[in-house]
């Protein structure tokens, strides 16, 4: 892939590294070995996921950020930055797992599909000084201008 992919663009892959089928340790070690090979061939970041091949598995859906410790292990063992998104919709949880070094990036695609204003709400929740600038430029400019005009009118 690196032969045809521009060097200035990151090469990423999503990989189900665990099954939750009772053979987790064995599967994870095999996945780490494959991840090392992908890194050697030019992969820049791995999106750590669950493999959905085996029926009747016990995926811990109710545990927030359940893949974060696994992602951290993959990163440390394979020497590659990692991302994940499962159970990381809460902004405080997402910020903590990045700050703790469990993941380098939190994927928020599913949350964005459910709520197109998700990034803006994340920024508000995390106390970002100008959360409106997480929006597309025309919207951000309008919000800033409108709020400024509203403040002047109220004065």
pLDDT tens per residue across all 155 residues of the chain: 788 999 899 999 999 999 999 999 999 999 999 999 999 999 999 999 998 888 889 999 999 999 999 999 999 999 999 999 999 988 899 999 999 999 999 998 888 899 888 888 989 999 999 888 888 887 777 777 776 655 666 66
Sign of CA dihedral 122, 110, 59, 34: negative
Cα 40-41-44 angle, rounded to 5 deg: 80
Global pTM? Answer: 0.83
Q: Where are the domains of the chain?
A: 12-114
pLDDT at 140: 77
Q: How far apart, in whole angstroms, are the C-alpha atoms of residue 89 and residue 74?
A: 21
Under a CB-based contact definition with an 8 Å cutoff, are residues 20 and 50 in contact? Answer: yes
């Amino acid at each position: 892939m690196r032969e045809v992919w521009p060097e200035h663009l990151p090469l990423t892959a999503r990989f189900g590294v665990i099954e939750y089928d009772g053979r987790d340790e064995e599967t994870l070690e095999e996945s780490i070995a494959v991840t090392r090979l992908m890194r050697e061939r030019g992969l820049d970041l791995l999106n750590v996921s669950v493999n959905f091949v085996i029926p009747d598995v016990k995926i811990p859906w109710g545990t927030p950020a359940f893949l974060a410790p696994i992602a951290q292990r993959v990163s440390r063992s394979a020497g590659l930055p990692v991302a994940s998104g499962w159970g990381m919709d809460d902004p405080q949880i997402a910020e903590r797992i990045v700050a703790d070094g469990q993941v380098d990036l939190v994927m928020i695609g599913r949350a964005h599909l459910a709520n197109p204003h998700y990034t803006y709400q994340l920024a508000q929740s995390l106390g970002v000084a100008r959360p409106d600038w997480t929006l597309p430029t025309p919207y951000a400019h309008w919000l800033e201008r409108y709020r400024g005009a509203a403040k002047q009118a109220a004065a």
